[in-house]
Amino acid sequence: MKAVRYDAPRSFAVTDVPVPEAGPGQVRIRVEQVGVCGTDLHIHNGDFNAVFPLIPGHELVGVVDVAGDGVTRFTSGEHVSVNPNIYCGRCDYCLSGRLILCSDSKGLGSNYPGFFAEYVTVPETLVFSVEGLPLDTAVFTEPAACAMHGLETLDMRPGSSALVFGAGPTGLLLSQLIASGGASSVTVAGPTQFKLDRAAALGVSSTVLLERGDPEGNQRRVRDASGGAGYDVVVEATGSTEIGDICVPLTRNGGTVLVYGVTRGDEVVSFHPFDVFRREITIKGSFAEMTSFAAAIAALRAGRVRTDGIITHRFSLDQYEKALDAVAHDRTVHKVVLVP
């Protein structure tokens, strides 16, 4: 079968590899679509604790091809997605039930073989049915699960006002979940008008067009959109430290800043500690997810999260380099998927 295989950071080929066999308790899946996201760019560059050699890819929808011995939850032909995040079950965090904080967590597509391939084999325990969902919705299961964990982390007061910086796919998924999770209003801010138009079409309360390289002006624009009051919840979903620097000033007294976007380990965001202290601002982080898959699928089935029109580009496995370049550089991209 064909697969994207890295032997080192930035060194990959689309090559033939053996079709994996489904052992006891495992499911072999024929891949139908895989999302390509910013995390894949980090992995391409050797970040995100990537372990090489590696087949990357972590946003899967496919069809059960073979159910191994002992598999009872799935049958051949069933549409499924896979939770790529694996906790160790042995560290202090796991034993206290805080699985997302696992000190030895691993990931399919980052530490173990992922989904940029024609077939994958995974443990039954990581597989979830998405039967009946359109493929273009089901392929968003993993990012929707990450967004669901973001909503869980916020523990938001009903009636809160929310601002989400970032109109990319994950920002739009999270903004919809925040809206259906009790917020009175959700504003999405970003520098690309067609993405903001998609946010409006998906039902957010308002949008703000940002200017790249103008943090003071952007802070003013976003505050003006709130009537000058600021927001109870401010979500940084871009990974931009320039945006991160203006989150605390835009947060209302007693409010929460959620750091959701992926940055490099050496990047720094600045804020005035007295401001946080005096106004009792809470700063939280939301990293991926570990146990939010079922809730995300339920939200997708119920229409609490819609994905209409977010996919803009499709590539084959052979076009993986073009797909990666599009995610990195093409301003017309919203969501890229690979179709093996």
Alpha helices in 99-233 (DSSP H): 135-138, 141-154, 169-180, 193-201, 215-225
What's the confidence (pLDDT) of residue 176? 98
Report how far residue 254's alpha carbon sits from residue 246's, in angstroms, rounded to the nearest whole number. Answer: 16
How much is the pTM?
A: 0.96
Per-domain residue ranges for the chain? 2-140+310-338, 146-285
86 φψ region: left (φ > 0), alpha (ψ -120 to 50), beta (else): beta
What's the confidence (pLDDT) of residue 65? 97
End-to-end CA, the chain: 10
DSSP-derived letter for residue 112 is B
Q: What is the pLDDT of residues 250-284, one digit of tens each?
A: 999 999 999 999 888 899 999 999 999 999 999 99
What are the tokens at 212?
A: 């790249």
What's the confidence (pLDDT) of residue 182? 94
Cβ–Cβ contacts within 10 Å for residue 283, how many? 16
What are the tokens at 5?
A: 């295989």
What are the tokens at 197?
A: 């138009």
What's the CATH class of domain 2-140+310-338? alpha beta
CA angle 34, 35, 38 (to 5 degrees): 140
What CATH architecture is 146-285? 3-Layer(aba) Sandwich (3.40)
What are the tokens at 36?
A: 């390509």
Q: Which residues of the chain have pLDDT under 70?
A: none
Report how far residue 19's alpha carbon sits from residue 118's, in angstroms, rounded to the nearest whole number. Answer: 8
What's the confidence (pLDDT) of residue 263? 87
Report how far residue 36's alpha carbon sits from residue 25's, in angstroms, rounded to the nearest whole number. Answer: 28
DSSP-derived letter for residue 42 is H
CA nearest 337: which of 326, 160, 329, 52?
326
What's the confidence (pLDDT) of residue 34? 98
What's the confidence (pLDDT) of residue 264? 83
What are the tokens at 260?
A: 């959701």
DSSP-derived letter for residue 145 is H
Report how far residue 43's alpha carbon sits from residue 177's, in angstroms, rounded to the nearest whole number. Answer: 27
Phi, psi dihedrals of residue 14, rounded to the nearest 5°: -90, 115
